[in-house]
């Protein structure tokens, strides 16, 4: 049983390399990256052999606890590796203990678990200060690996059981975005020197607590013994108990998973036809209504909506803590938001997945499709950016700078949507499918997507270059440059949007079947 599952897992891993060259290249890059990090950690741990026990303990226990926490948390949010979800074995009638053991062992076969194995093995070198310490470390290595693997299996399966409804996943996704964005200023706070010194003493007491928790005990036991502290034996007991308890919990969870089909959400009901009734009943109006409904309802768009305002806030916080003066700071958010909003629509068609067939079969005019999709972006984006420009200029204490801000922002938004109108019809790349987690990027995106995304960013900035340069001159005090920046921004933006829509519309009409084909491959 166990051997069969391990073979299945190995087969799945090998098959990852039997895909398109782009995917293989991305995978190889990820593996190299992982191998590099692992090597770095191993070298660090060996080097820590010669550091004072207190410092080695802090690094190993602190870092190790975070690593084990990641094993639990990452599968919950990212939903990785559900290929070996116990529910998939429900119909085979396998006894649950055997299945639980088999799946847990299979969990060791995988890049993260192998890295954990190597890294925890390297702690043998760190604690090669006494025979007793090595002996305890030798017991702790399998404890660490088993704890990590069991935590990740429990995280993935538990999340699968509890968060299987569409809306609960969406809620978790939204919370995660906000949480991650708030991490950045926290990092700045910590790297700030004065606070950092206080933090270091705080770390000592945190580590002392972690050493007795399930996450840190297995890392801490050899450290204590190496430092001549008999408490290490107690920590060893905690580590062993952790593995046993997690094993029992995992077995229990497999049992539950085998007989459950997941939660069902109560479907929501809409009265009437919403935006479709408010906008004109033309193809362009209907596509606009559909786009607005999706921006409001589809979690993949919602993540964009949340991250667009959060990004500049984080940026301002970080730069502010780094000591950039307030008036300069005030000018930053509006162009950044404009850049992101303008860029957001560059792969819009891919988000429809194969549903785009309806547009192809109905022979929708390309211009209608392009402009309809832009409606939410332009109708919401333009007023927000213009109002934001006035607010920013007021905060900076220089009302005249509203003119170049509007010029730059409008140009970035219009040029971005114009360029996106062409690229989304010409070079769609795969995105998360409708209804799946917005963080579940399809593997094939790595190569093509990165190229498309960065080229578009550069084109967008190039289009706005005149307005930006004139705006910089205006900051130096030129009144004329401020007005010319506004003119240049609006003119360039309108021209790029107009030509991009016309060109993108023709591309859409010509490539309709090919767009559907690429959605089918995604």
Partner 1 sequence: MTAPELPQSSTDTEVPEEPGAVETVLDLRGLTKRFGDTVAVDSIDLAVAAGSFTGIVGPNGAGKTTTLSMVTGLLRPDGGTVLVHGIDVWAEPDRAKRAIGVLPDALRLFDRLSGAQLLHYAGVLRGLDAATVRQRTADLVAAFGLEDATGRLVADYSAGMTKKIALAAAMIHSPRLLVLDEPFESVDPVSAANIVDILQRYVAAGGTVVLSSHGMDLIQRVCDHVAVIVGGKVLAAGTTDEVRGGESLEERFVALAGGRRAAAGMEWLHSFVE
Write down the least CB distance from residue 219 to partner 1, Å: 45
- # residues contacting partner 1 (CB under 8 A): 42
Contact map string, positions 349 to 368, toward partner 1, x by CB under 8 A:
---xxxx-xxxxxxxx----
> What is the 8-class DSSP label of residue 268?
P
Distance from C-alpha of 467 to C-alpha of 486, rounded to nearest angstrom: 7
Q: Is 512 in the site for partner 1 (CB under 8 A)?
A: yes
Distance from C-alpha of 116 to C-alpha of 327, rounded to nearest angstrom: 47
Q: Is 268 in the site for partner 1 (CB under 8 A)?
A: yes
Closer residue to partner 1 (CB): 193 or 271:
271
Q: Residue from 19, 166, 263, 278 that binds partner 1 (CB under 8 A)?
A: 166
Q: Is 292 in the site for partner 1 (CB under 8 A)?
A: no
Phi-psi region of 363 (alpha: psi -120 to 50; beta: other; left: phi over 0): left
Write down the least CB distance from residue 406 to partner 1, Å: 34
Q: Is 430 in the site for partner 1 (CB under 8 A)?
A: no
Q: Is 273 in the site for partner 1 (CB under 8 A)?
A: yes
Closer residue to partner 1 (CB): 290 or 346:
290
Closer residue to partner 1 (CB): 136 or 291:
291
Per-residue DSSP letters for 200-256?
A: HHHHHHHHHHHTTSTTTHHHHHHHHHHTT-THHHHHHHHHHHHHHHHHHHHHHHHHH
Q: Is 269 in the site for partner 1 (CB under 8 A)?
A: yes
Q: Is 290 in the site for partner 1 (CB under 8 A)?
A: yes
Q: Is 513 in the site for partner 1 (CB under 8 A)?
A: yes
Spatial neighbors of 332 by CB under 8 A, at least 6 apart, are 312, 315, 316, 319
Distance from C-alpha of 331 to C-alpha of 391, rounded to nearest angstrom: 10
Q: Is 434 in the site for partner 1 (CB under 8 A)?
A: yes
Closer residue to partner 1 (CB): 49 or 433:
433
Q: Residue from 435, 450, 458, 477 that binds partner 1 (CB under 8 A)?
A: 435
Q: Residue from 185, 298, 321, 442 that binds partner 1 (CB under 8 A)?
A: 298
Q: Is 450 in the site for partner 1 (CB under 8 A)?
A: no
Q: Are 342 and 420 in contact (CB under 8 A)?
A: yes
Q: Which of 466, 469, 447, 449 is nearest to 457 (CA)?
A: 449
Q: Is 516 in the site for partner 1 (CB under 8 A)?
A: yes
> How many C-beta neighbours within 10 Å does residue 518 have?
18
> What is the 8-class DSSP label of residue 409?
H
DSSP run (H or E) holding 166? helix 166-191
Q: Is 271 in the site for partner 1 (CB under 8 A)?
A: yes
Q: Which of 144, 146, 164, 147 is nearest to 256 (CA)?
A: 164
Q: Residue from 222, 283, 333, 489 that binds partner 1 (CB under 8 A)?
A: 283
Q: Are 219 and 64 in contact (CB under 8 A)?
A: yes
Write down the least CB distance from residue 365 to partner 1, Å: 8
Which residue ranges make up the site for partner 1 (CB under 8 A)?
Answer: 166, 267-274, 276, 281-283, 285-287, 289-290, 293-294, 297-298, 352-355, 357-364, 434-435, 512-514, 516-517, 520
């Amino acid at each position: 049983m166990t051997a069969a599952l391990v073979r299945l897992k190995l087969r799945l891993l090998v098959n990852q390399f039997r895909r398109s060259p782009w995917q293989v290249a991305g995978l190889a890059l990820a593996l190299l990256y992982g191998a590099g990090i692992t090597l770095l950690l191993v070298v660090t741990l060996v080097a820590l052999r010669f550091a004072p026990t207190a410092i080695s303990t802090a690094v190993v226990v602190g870092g190790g606890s975070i690593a084990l926490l990641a094993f639990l948390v990452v599968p919950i949010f990212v939903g990785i590796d559900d290929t070996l979800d116990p529910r998939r074995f429900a119909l085979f009638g396998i006894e649950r203990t055997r299945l639980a053991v088999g799946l847990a062992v299979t969990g060791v076969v995988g890049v993260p678990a192998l890295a954990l194995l190597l890294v925890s093995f390297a702690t043998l070198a760190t604690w090669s200060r006494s025979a007793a310490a090595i002996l305890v470390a030798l017991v702790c290595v399998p404890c660490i690996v088993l704890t990590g693997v069991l935590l990740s299996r429990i995280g993935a399966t538990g999340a699968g059981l509890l968060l299987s409804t569409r809306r609960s996943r969406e809620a978790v996704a939204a919370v995660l975005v906000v949480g991650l964005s708030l991490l950045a200023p926290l990092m700045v706070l910590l790297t700030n020197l004065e606070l950092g010194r206080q933090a270091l003493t705080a770390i000592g007491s945190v580590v002392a607590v972690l050493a007795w928790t399930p996450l840190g005990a297995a890392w801490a036991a050899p450290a204590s013994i190496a430092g001549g502290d008999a408490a290490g034996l107690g920590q060893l007991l905690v580590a062993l108990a952790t593995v046993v308890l997690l094993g029992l919990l995992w077995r229990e969870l497999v049992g539950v998973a085998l007989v459950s089909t997941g939660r069902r959400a109560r479907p929501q009901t809409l009265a009437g036809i919403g935006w479709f009734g408010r906008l004109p009943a033309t193809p362009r109006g209907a596509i606009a209504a559909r786009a607005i409904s999706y921006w409001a309802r589809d979690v993949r768009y919602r993540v964009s909506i949340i991250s667009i305002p959060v990004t500049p806030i984080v940026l301002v916080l970080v730069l502010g803590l780094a000591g950039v003066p307030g008036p300069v700071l005030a000018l930053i958010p509006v162009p950044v938001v404009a850049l992101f909003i303008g860029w957001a629509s560059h792969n819009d068609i891919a988000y429809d997945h194969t549903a785009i067939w309806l547009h192809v079969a109905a022979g929708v005019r390309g211009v209608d499709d392009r402009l309809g999709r832009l409606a939410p972006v332009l109708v919401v984006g333009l007023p927000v950016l213009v109002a934001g420009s006035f607010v920013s200029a007021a905060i900076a204490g220089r009302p005249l700078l509203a003119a170049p801000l509007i010029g730059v922002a409008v140009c970035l938004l219009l040029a971005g949507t114009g360029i996106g109108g062409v690229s989304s019809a010409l070079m769609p790349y795969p995105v998360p499918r409708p209804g799946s987690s917005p963080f579940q990027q399809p593997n094939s995106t790595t190569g093509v997507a990165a190229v498309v995304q960065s080229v578009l960013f550069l084109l967008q900035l190039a289009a706005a270059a005149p307005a930006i340069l004139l705006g910089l001159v205006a900051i130096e005090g030129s009144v004329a440059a401020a007005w010319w920046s506004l003119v240049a921004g609006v003119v360039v933006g309108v021209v790029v949007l107009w030509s991009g829509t016309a060109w993108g519309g023709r591309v859409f009409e010509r490539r309709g079947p090919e767009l559907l084909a690429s959605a089918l491959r995604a």
